[in-house]
Amino acid sequence: MSRGWGYNYPMMKNENVSFIFKALQDPIRIRIIEMLRYEQNRREFFPDTEEAKEGFCPMDILTVLHDEGMEISNTKLSYHLKELKESNLVVLVKEGKRNFYLLNEEGMTSVSKWLKDILNA
């Protein structure tokens, strides 16, 4: 895709990059991403479907955050999860009345690829 300056390379849209980094500027959101990637052993509620098998329910996320001294409310956690979902860094899988959040591999890969492209340019 040409950017109009004589360069010819694929780029993420500027607003997408800005939105992703805005979502990542909060330490609680960063901690949630780390939790989703590395700490499935800390879950108490397990999904029934294969689609959500690696997912965390909001109560598990809240419990881990509280155990680590991050006292946030359900409302604030919902806000953080919404921001991560809207930035395509996590996905929501619904199982009946329960929700499970997982890393969005596609969203994480696009950010990683963008960073690698910038660093290797």
Cβ neighbors of 91 (< 8 A, separation 6 or more) are 85, 101, 102, 103, 104
**Lookup result for tokens 């359900």:** 74
Query: Which regions in the chain score pLDDT beneath 50?
Result: 1-8
Q: Are 47 and 61 within 8 A, CB to CB?
A: no
**Which 3 state secondary structure label does DSSP give 93?**
strand
Per-residue pLDDT at 14: 63
Q: Are 102 and 60 within 8 A, CB to CB?
A: no
pTM for this model (two decimals)? 0.83
Domains, the chain: 14-119 (1.10.10.10)
Rounded alpha-carbon distances, angstroms, from residue 84 to 9, 73, 100, 117 = 27, 17, 13, 23
Reading the block at residue 102, the tokens are 């997982």
Percent of the chain with pLDDT over 90: 57
Q: E strands of the chain, at which residues?
A: 90-95, 98-103
- Quick: pLDDT tens for 110-121: 888 888 888 887
Angle of CA points 73, 92, 52, to nearest 5°: 110
